[in-house]
Amino acid sequence: MDRYRDNPAALRGLVRDTEVHRDVYIDPEVFDLEMRHLFAETWVYVGHASQLPEPGDYISATVGYQPLLVVRHSDGSIHVLYNRCPHKGTRITTEQCGNTGKFFRCPYHAWSFRTNGKLLSIPLKKGYENTGLDDAEAAAGLRPVANLHVYRDFIFVKLNEGGQSFEEFFGESLSSIDNMIDRSPEGKLVVAGAPLRYLHGCNWKMLVENQTDTCHPMVAHESSAGTAVSVWEREQAEGAKPPMAVEVYSPFMSSYEFFEGMGIRVWPNGHGHTGVATSIHADYSAVPGYMEQMAASYGEGEARRILDENRHNTVYFPNVMVKGPIQTLRVFIPLAADKTLVESWTFRLVGAPDMLFERTLMYNRLINAPTSIVGHDDLEMYERAQEGLRADANPWVNLQRLYQPGERHDVTEVINGTSERQMRNQFHAWASFMAASMERQAAGA
């Protein structure tokens, strides 16, 4: 039964001021609409230019249901193309990454395409003479996405025509990407290696919400991070400096008061970040020589401004989180209403001391990996919630903490660090972008 498919009003009704209906997490129809509308109406991250250093280099990406190719063309430009041959619809490649040389070649009938998508050649092309092929869509080659924007090497696409521009969609939130890049003395990041991939048995939005949920760390992570900290406190030699792993774990056991004072900044369109006044990354040990490098590049005042900005988690709606001080990026890839693939990427700060990259790798391995201990705490909570939401006791999920009547979702504000307003902000954006795409599609039908 299609309750929401042609009914934007019903879809909007799933989101109240302080509650969301369980269907946003468990209903396959809602999931299908997300894949077709939400991920087509928003600007979605698909990769980083450093993954494409040479002409012909490509990576695969998926936005909603759409398979894409992100490729470096012979002139150095970046193109994002649908991974579908215009002849029979065959996927051009099933590899995650590679170098295609000067052209893509379909493995089915050997139609070939330049790396900007333009049709290059067709075997036995004389068989198409006087058939009107030149006027057919297939003759245009691999179709490009409707909208592409490369921001300081971060590659974003929007599949739908119309809607918000890149600048309108992100606005001031791009400052978190800026800060992560500016931590390099050379103002440059490179992706370092393959991501850690971790399959979660839950809805993708649970992971997005968790990035700004500051009332769970001292509870859910007590058995993991709490145990690691207590062991160190028991076994340490007097006056010993905590090892890097303990520095990474210990802030997860910070008090409610710490997280309240940390602050959350909300931006329009579902974006926001924890860690305004301080964050769990603020008290790591100094890296020898790093400040001197930064001061030489930016001047001492600007270097201190960059490094004193220690944002915790920045959510870029709909499905990306960046952690600037630790140079990681996580993508939450929806596979089903109750299945999500998480990719955790690490970046190297070009020109910075190796110790910073060591910390990045250690953090990602200890916190985000399938073999981590902290990440498993969260996964257990997600899966419990996914199961619990099927109980008929109450169909609504409460997001009421520190709610104020008349809250606006089109403003930038700094709020209490334990507020659930950023989650409310995300669901307002979710409903708005979903409905906008459905209404535009209906108007054009």
Q: For 144-156, how does the pLDDT look when each residue is reduced to its tens digit (9 = 90+)? A: 999 999 999 999 9
Task: For residue range 102-122, list pLDDT tens digits in order.
Answer: 999 999 999 999 999 999 999
pLDDT of 268 reads 98
pLDDT bracket for residue 444 (50, 70, 90): confident
* Sequence-ordered strand ranges (E) for 44-165: 44-48, 57-63, 66-72, 78-82, 97-99, 103-105, 112-114, 119-121, 147-151, 154-158
Task: For residue range 319-332, list pLDDT tens digits in order.
Answer: 999 999 999 999 99
Task: For residue range 355-377, list pLDDT tens digits in order.
Answer: 999 999 999 999 999 988 899 99
pLDDT of 371 reads 87
Task: For residue range 127-136, list pLDDT tens digits in order.
Answer: 999 999 999 9
pLDDT of 235 reads 86
3-class DSSP state for residue 292?
helix
Strand arrangement, sheet containing 57-63: 78-82, 66-72, 57-63, 97-99
The long-range contacts involving 239-248, CB below 8 angstroms and separated by at least 24 positions, are 241/285, 244/285, 244/358, 244/359, 244/362, 245/362, 245/366, 247/283, 247/284, 247/285, 248/359, 248/362, 248/363, 248/366, 248/367
Q: What does the chain come to in residues?
A: 445
pLDDT of 240 reads 86
pLDDT bracket for residue 237 (50, 70, 90): confident
Bridge partner residues of 274 (DSSP):
264
**Cβ distance 276 to 414 under 8 Å?**
yes
Cα 151 to chain centroid, rounded: 15
Tokens coding 46: 């698909």
pLDDT of 247 reads 92
Task: For residue range 3-48, list pLDDT tens digits in order.
Answer: 999 899 999 999 999 999 999 999 999 999 999 999 999 999 999 9
Q: How far apart are the C-alpha atoms of 11 and 41, rounded to whole Å?
A: 15
Bridge partner residues of 339 (DSSP):
336
Per DSSP, 35 falls in state: I
pTM equals 0.97
Single-letter amino acid, residue 263: G
pLDDT bracket for residue 239 (50, 70, 90): confident
Please state whether 347 falls in left (phi above 0), alpha (psi between -120 and 50) or beta.
beta
pLDDT of 238 reads 80
**Cβ distance 86 to 143 under 8 Å?**
yes
What is Dmax (Cα atoms) for the chain?
87
pLDDT of 68 reads 98
What's the angle, vertex CA 125, arms to CA 120 and CA 128, rounded to 5? 120
Q: How far apart are the C-alpha atoms of 348 and 133, rounded to whole Å?
A: 48
pLDDT of 351 higher than 70: yes
pLDDT of 1 higher than 80: no
Mean pLDDT of the residues in the chain: 96
CB atoms within 10 A of CB 389: 20
pLDDT of 443 reads 86
Task: For residue range 165-221, list pLDDT tens digits in order.
Answer: 999 999 999 999 999 999 999 999 999 999 999 999 999 999 999 999 999 999 999
List the one residue out of 153, 155, 134, 133 whose CA is nearest residue 63.
Answer: 155
Tokens 């521009």 found at? 165
pLDDT of 391 reads 96
pLDDT of 338 reads 98
Q: What percent of the chain has pLDDT over 70?
A: 100
Tokens coding 198: 């971790």
Sequence-ordered list of residues with C-beta below 8 angstroms from that of 228, at least 6 positions apart, any chain: 245, 246, 249, 250, 373
Q: How far apart are the C-alpha atoms of 333 and 336, rounded to whole Å?
A: 9
Q: What percent of the chain has pLDDT over 90?
A: 93
Domains in the chain, please, with CATH?
45-151 (2.102.10.10), 173-432 (3.90.380.10)
Q: How far apart are the C-alpha atoms of 218 and 249, rounded to whole Å?
A: 11
Please state whether 142 falls in left (phi above 0), alpha (psi between -120 and 50) or beta.
beta
pLDDT of 445 reads 57
Half-sphere exposure of 113 (CA within 13 A, CB side): 30
End-to-end CA distance of the chain: 22
